[in-house]
């Protein structure tokens, strides 16, 4: 079964100016597509051939893991967005953030620190940990917290390809702006 690049749930210019159409053209159109193409070349004739993407992420390592996890991570990341200011942080996710981090401001500060201090390429994640609490974790390269039994709720891609066209080396500006396009309704759906 060949994997396909999932369609984006918005127009390429919908996330302007936080993420430009040019960034999506490369990040989604080229990088995300390449992980799909690579996985489709790697799995025929292997035990992964008929697995779901999530199963492959959980059971693989090395090149198969890197490409499968990057497909999963990017799909999850791109599906977290909606046009700027169309969504408000509310509902169950807001209650859990306040319960587990004290306030929305403290949560965002901790998440931003995780995203900004991650050395090299990787992902900052908001997860439900094995104790059922929200937790912020860093993962390098293609890392995915499902491998550690945690449930992903939100992620920020801090590979340079995620922000270099729009922000050059200013990762902090990208991470700060990231909050303006989060689809909180989608995030709330992930809690159930």
CA–CA distances in Å: residue 112 to residues 115, 119, 124, 125: 5, 13, 8, 10
76 makes contact with Mn ion (CB under 5 A): no
How far is the C-alpha of 114 from the C-alpha of 124, rounded, in Å?
6
Q: Segment near Mn ion (CB under 5 A), from 11-19, 41-49, 89-97, 159-167?
A: 159-167
159 makes contact with Mn ion (CB under 5 A): yes
How far is the C-alpha of 49 from the C-alpha of 97, rounded, in Å?
39
Residue among 114, 110, 36, 48 nearest 73 (CA): 36
For Mn ion, the closer of residues 101 and 159 by Cβ is: 159
Closest-CB residue for Mn ion? 157
Residue among 73, 71, 47 nearest 60 (CA): 47
Q: Segment near Mn ion (CB under 5 A), from 54-62, 99-107, 108-116, 162-170?
A: 162-170
Among 60, 64, 157, 181, binds Mn ion (CB under 5 A): 157
CB of 104 to Mn ion, least distance (A): 26
CB of 40 to Mn ion, least distance (A): 18
How far is the C-alpha of 105 from the C-alpha of 55, rounded, in Å?
35
For Mn ion, the closer of residues 157 and 166 by Cβ is: 157
Q: How many CB atoms lie within 10 A of CB 58?
A: 17
CB of 31 to Mn ion, least distance (A): 5
For Mn ion, the closer of residues 134 and 162 by Cβ is: 162
166 makes contact with Mn ion (CB under 5 A): no
φ, ψ of residue 176 in degrees (nearest 5): -65, -40
For Mn ion, the closer of residues 5 and 89 by Cβ is: 5
- 45 sits in the region (left: phi over 0; alpha: psi -120 to 50; else beta) called left
For Mn ion, the closer of residues 111 and 159 by Cβ is: 159
Residue ranges in contact with Mn ion by CB under 5 A = 157, 159, 162
């Amino acid at each position: 079964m060949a994997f396909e690049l999932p369609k984006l749930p918005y127009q390429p210019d919908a996330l302007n100016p936080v993420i430009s159409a040019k960034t999506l053209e490369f990040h989604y159109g080229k990088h995300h597509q390449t992980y799909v193409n690579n996985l489709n070349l790697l799995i025929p004739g292997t035990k992964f051939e008929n697995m779901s993407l999530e199963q492959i992420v959980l059971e693989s390592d090395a090149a198969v893991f890197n490409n499968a996890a990057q497909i999963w991570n990017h799909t999850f990341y791109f599906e977290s967005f909606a046009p700027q200011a169309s969504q408000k942080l509310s509902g169950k996710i807001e209650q859990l953030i306040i319960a587990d981090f004290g306030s929305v401001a403290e949560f965002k500060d901790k998440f931003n620190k995780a995203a900004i201090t991650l050395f090299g390429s990787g992902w900052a994640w908001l997860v439900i940990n094995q104790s059922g609490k929200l937790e912020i974790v860093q993962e390098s390269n293609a890392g995915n917290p499902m491998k550690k039994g945690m449930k992903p709720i939100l992620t920020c891609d801090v590979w340079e390809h995620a922000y270099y066209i729009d922000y050059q080396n200013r990762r902090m500006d990208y991470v700060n702006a990231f909050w303006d396009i989060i689809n909180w309704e989608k995030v709330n759906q992930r809690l159930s």
